[in-house]
Amino acid sequence: MAEQIKVSVDGGQERLYPAGVTPLEIYREQGDGQKEPLAAVVSGEKRDLNTPLYDDCRLSFLYFEDEEGARIYRHSASHILAQAVQRLYPGVKLGIGPAIENGFYYDFEFEEPLTAGELEKIEREMKKIIKEKLPIERCVMSREEAEAFFREKGQPYKLELIADLDGDAVISCYRQGEFVDLCSGPHLTDTGKVKAVKLTGLAGAYWRGDERNPMLQRIYGTAFPSREQLEEHLRLLEEAKKRDHRKLGRDLDLFSLHEEGPGFPFFHNNGMILWQELTDFWRQEHRRAGYEEIRTPIILNRRLWEQSGHWDHFRENMYFTRIDDQDYAIKPMNCPGAMLVYRSRMHSYRDLPRRIAEMGLVHRHELSGTLHGLMRVRSFTQDDAHIFMLPEQIEEEVKGIIQMVDRFYSIFGFQYRVELSTRPEKAMGSVEMWDRATAALEKVLKSNGIPYRLNLGEGAFYGPKIDFQIQDCLGRSWQCSTIQLDFQMPEKFDLTYIGPDGQKHRPVVIHRVIYGAMERFIALLIEHYGGAFPLWLAPVQVVVIPLTERHHDYARVVFQELLSAGLRVTLDDRNEKVGYKIREAQMKKIPYMLVMGDREMQSGEVAVRHRDRGDLGACSRSELLERLQEEIAAKK
C-alpha cells in the first residue's frame, strides 16, 4: 500500500497526503473553515467525511444547499427518529427511513398503534439525541453476522432486506450510540450536526408499497441547519395546505373523487372549462409548430403490447380484458398507437420530420395507498407527441421542443430546471444504441448552453430522456414535460422511410409531453395559483352585481353584451347585500366584479372591481370589453 496518495480537490491541482487521510482532514487543511461540509464525493461516489482514503482520487464536498447534501442531512435525521422511537417503544419493529424531498420518513410496526399526539414526545427525544452529539459510524458485517444481529434484535423487516442483497455483499450498517441500522450511507459525522427538526405527520404505509404486505405506521419529519429555515419551511407547508388542490377543487366545483371509481376523477363544468382552455392553447401551439393531431383506441390487442415491449416491462401496471377469446389491454401509453399510424403508409425522407400529437386517455394500475387527488390517478390524459425523423434532424427537433416547453411554462409563470436521465437496469436494446441516443441529447443541451443535471439510470426502458422539473410559487419541484429519444420502437415496429438512395432506412423517434398528465398539471395549476386563475383560464371571468332590484335591467344589458362577446360571465341578481355578493365572488376567485348602481345606470358605465387589486374605478363598457379581451389574448 502506498504511503502517500494524490488528491485533487474540486478539480484543483493534485496534492500529496498520507494514505488513510480523511476528507474531513483535507477540508480542514484546505477549506475556508466557515461552513463544514456534510459529506464528500470521492471520485464520483458519495462518502462519509471520516472515510479513510488509500488511493489517488478526485475529491469534492457536499453542503446542505446541494440536493444530495440535503438528502444526506435528512437521512441522518431519519436515523435519529428511529433511535428516539426505539428508546421510547423498545418492542418496535423497524422498516425503512429514507430522505424525501424537503424531509424524511421512517416506517415502524408498533405493538400498539401510535397516535398523532405522541409525535411531540418522540420529537423531544430526538432533540435529546441531537444534544448528545453521538458519533455516527459506519460498520460492516458479513451476511451471517448481520442476520444474527438483526434476528437477536427482533427485526424481521431488516432480515428481509438483507435476504434481497447480493449473496457476496458486505453488509453496511451505521451505529450511533446504542442504535444500529442497516444502511449504505453516507451520513453526517455525529447527531449534533442536525440543528432543527420537526415531525410533521403520521400515516399508514404498506411494507415495501405492496398492499399484500403488513400495514406499517409512517412518521414524517423534516430537518434544517437553522431554526429560521425550519420556520420558513413550516410557513410554506401551511400555505400549501390552503392551496391543496383537493380542497380548492371541491370549493371551486372543479372536480370530485368518488369511492365508486378510486383513482378515476370526475370533472365538473368549471373543471372542464379549465381543461378546454388548456387543450385549446395546446392545439393552437401545436398546429403552429407543424404537428398533426390523431386519436387512437383505448383498447388494443395483447400482440401489440408484446411487440412494443410493454408486456414484458410494464405489465404489472396494466389493465386487461378479453374480446372474442383473445387478450386485450387498456393502453397505459399512447406510443404503440402512434407507431401504427406512422406505419399505415409509406414515407420518403422528404416527409420527415413527421410530428404526430395526441391527447390520449391512458390507464395505469396504481396501488390504492398511493392515490392522491389529481396528482396520482389511475386514468389520465397525456398530451403525447411522437416525432419521426432522420438521424441528422435530432438536434433541431429537440431544440424546437425545448423552445415549446419554455413558451408553455413562461405563460404559466413556472421556472424550471433540466435533467438528463440515462439507461436504467431494466432496458431494451444494446448499450451501444443507448450510448448513441444519450450522446445525441447531451449534445443538444450543451450546444444550446442549457445547464442540466445527470440522472444516472433513470431513463425510460426504451431510451434516455430530458426531464423538465418545474418550480411552483412555493418553491416545490414537479416533473411534467419530458423528451425521450428512442431508437428501439422503430426496430420493434419495423418503421422505415425511403432515403435519397432509394433504400429503406429506420427513422428515429422522439416521445415527448408538455403538460404531462393533464389531470396532474391541472392540480399543479390549482395549487400554483391558489385557485385564483388568470383571466384566460378562470371558469367564471366576470360577475355582474346590481345594487338593487331597480338596477337589474341595466345589469342584464351589461351581462348580455359580455356574454355575446364570448366572455364567461354570470349575473348575481339575488336579493342579498352587495358586500355579501362581493365577498362570495372573492371566495370563488372570480377575477372581475362589475357593480351596477344609479351612477353607472345613468352614465352607461360600469364600476370595476378586481379580485386582487380591489376597486379600479368606473369605465365605459366598450373600454372594459377591450381591456378584458386584450388581457385574455395576451394570457397575462
- The C-alpha angle with vertex 450 and arms to 449 and 451, in degrees rounded to 5, equals 115
Distance CA 593, CA 337 (A): 47
Distance CA 196, CA 235 (A): 15
Distance CA 464, CA 455 (A): 10
511 is catalytic: yes
Choice among 384, 486, 572, 573 that is catalytic: 384
CB 183 within 8 A of CB 68: no
Q: Is 368 exposed, middle or buried (0-12, 13-18, 19+ CB in 10 A)?
A: exposed
386 is catalytic: yes
What are the backbone dihedrals phi and psi of residue 57, each rounded to the nearest 5 degrees, phi first?
A: -160, 165
364 is catalytic: yes
Helix ranges restricted to H, 65-188: 67-88, 119-132, 143-152, 156-163
**Roughly what angle, to the nearest 10 degrees, separates helices 119-132 and 67-88?**
110
Distance CA 614, CA 329 (A): 54
Choice among 245, 423, 465, 588 that is catalytic: 465
> Which helix (DSSP H) or strand (DSSP E) does residue 401 occupy?
helix 394-412
Distance CA 155, CA 148 (A): 10
Cell 436494446 belongs to 429
Pairing of strands 465-471, 415-421: antiparallel
Q: What cell was used for 539?
A: 371558469
Choice among 57, 173, 335, 480 that is catalytic: 335
Alpha carbon dihedral 446, 452, 455, 456, in 10-degree steps, equals 30
Distance CA 239, CA 251 (A): 16
CA-based nearest residue to 292, from 387, 404, 181, 163? 387
Establish how many alpha carbons lie within 13 A of residue 468's alpha carbon, considering only the half-sphere containing its beta carbon: 26
Helix ranges restricted to H, 252-376: 269-288, 302-308, 310-313, 335-343
Q: What cell was used for 322?
A: 378479453
Choice among 364, 378, 423, 520 that is catalytic: 364
Helix ranges restricted to H, 413-549: 431-447, 488-492, 518-529
Distance CA 529, CA 411 (A): 13
Distance CA 240, CA 198 (A): 17
CA-based nearest residue to 558, from 632, 634, 619? 619
Q: How far is CA 350 from CA 329, 342, 354, 495, in A?
A: 35, 15, 10, 15
Residue 2 one-letter amino acid: A
Choice among 511, 528, 589, 609 that is catalytic: 511
Beta bridge partners of 356: 292, 386
335 is catalytic: yes
Distance CA 412, CA 287 (A): 20
Choice among 347, 386, 520, 588 that is catalytic: 386
382 is catalytic: yes
Choice among 86, 155, 382, 393 that is catalytic: 382
Alpha carbon dihedral 86, 92, 97, 100, in 10-degree steps, equals -100
Residue 304 one-letter amino acid: L
Beta bridge partners of 93: 109
Distance CA 160, CA 109 (A): 14
Annotated catalytic residues are 335, 364, 382, 384, 386, 465, 511
